[in-house]
A and B are shown apart, each in its own frame.
Chain A
């Protein structure tokens, strides 16, 4: 029996990525990183800013996301997100831009705790990318 399942990442504009030979996906879920293997129980969870790792035979891929929802059902993993970047395509300047944006957001005073937390997360993740 193969140990592979299907992953699909969609953003509002299009279907971003479809892969069906994935062996493991690590997503930054709201309550900590979560690794998903084949035959995981059906789950719906939230994502916080972080890195999605997709491990497959054809190579590993890393994506930076800012928010999203994951749904896993019948060995189909769907990830809905509004902002996603492939780390392989992301250069320094793009990263710096995002970091600057996130820092500005984090330094705003009129935001509530949750958005503050999310913005801090963004900053943290983007910094570790260096």
Chain B
């Protein structure tokens, strides 16, 4: 059995860990509210953007010559995967969930003998992926300096993706992120952004629009913007998910630490009692023997 002193030290250390996790939980809760708010506020923009593009692509006259960003390059040889993770750890299964989803997708692609390229956003994803897929990672971006997800950062990623697309470096682009459902549930998502996947979505309107300038021109200007918008949306969802995930992870940790402190305290008290009893017995039996 551990000595009294050891137990005391352990209790103290668990208690201080508990303090840290508690503080982290509170911070995450505060940040979560903000992140959730901005995720919700950001939704109208991406929804509207989607709508406009949907209407446009319905109205487009010449499907053959549609911009490549919409229709694809006509082949599916090289896949680019943008894996979006956090820059910080201690957020439960947040990062591993994305990575798991991404890895199963990678395996599928490699099985089909297609080429795979990876861009990681956020250092945690890079850390986990570089061991296995190190040679596939072509770019690693991290926004450690930016406090909140902002459009400027998303635009940077978007421009890079488009640049690579135009240089013919890949045919299909998929982004991986966690969709924020609520504090305890985050759903890892794989969303294909190039070519734009409109299947399954109902046509919101059959109404005809007037375009100025013509459809093709608007579309070719709009599509790159849409990429950035989608990436931005993913970033917002991700940051809300990260904080939510961290909050519940830290809540669990705090509770576990509390249980541990209780258990250790009981053990401590028992051994203290045992020591006292032992001493008493010694004294009494010493006195009796006189």
Contacts and interface: CB of A to CB of B under 8 A. Distances in A.
A44 B209 contact: yes
B213 interface: yes
B210 A15 contact: no
B48 A80 contact: yes
B232 interface: yes
B222 A43 contact: no
B45 A12 contact: yes
Interface string A35-46: 000000111111
Nearest to B52: A71
Interface string A1-32: 00000001011111100000000000001110
Nearest to B229: A12
B41 A30 contact: no
B29 interface: no
A96 interface: no
Contacts of A13: 38, 41-42, 150-151
B42 A44 contact: no
B229 to A, nearest CB: 6
Contacts of B42: 12-14
A82 B151 contact: yes
A130 to B, nearest CB: 27
Given A13-B38, A15-B44, A80-B49, A30 B151 contact: no
B30 interface: no
B201 interface: no
A12 B207 contact: no
Interface string A111-126: 0000000000000000
A46 B45 contact: no
The residue among B38, B42, B208 with the most chain A CB atoms within 10 A of its own CB is B42
Contacts of A43: 209-212
Q: What class of interface size applies to chain A in its complex with B?
A: 20 to 34
Given A69-B52, A78-B48, A80-B52, A42 B207 contact: yes
A45 B205 CA distance: 17
Interface in B195-246: 205, 207-213, 218, 221-222, 225, 229, 232
A10 B233 CA distance: 14
The residue among B150, B155, B209 with the most chain A CB atoms within 10 A of its own CB is B209
A44 B56 contact: yes
Contacts of A41: 210
Contacts of B71: none
Contact of A10 (B45, B210, B225): B45
B192 interface: no
Nearest to B46: A12
B55 interface: yes
A45 B38 contact: no
Contact of B48 (A42, A71, A82): A71
Interface of B: 38, 41-42, 44-46, 48-49, 51-52, 55-56, 150-151, 154-155, 205, 207-213, 218, 221-222, 225, 229, 232
8 closest A-B pairs by CB: A14-B41, A12-B151, A45-B212, A43-B210, A10-B45, A42-B209, A10-B44, A12-B45
Interface of A: 8, 10-15, 29-31, 34, 41-46, 69, 71, 73, 78, 80, 82
Given A29-B212, A41-B210, A43-B211, 16 more contacts: A10-B45, A11-B45, A12-B151, A13-B41, A31-B213, A34-B212, A44-B210, A44-B211, A44-B212, A44-B218, A45-B211, A46-B212, A69-B49, A69-B52, A71-B52, A82-B225
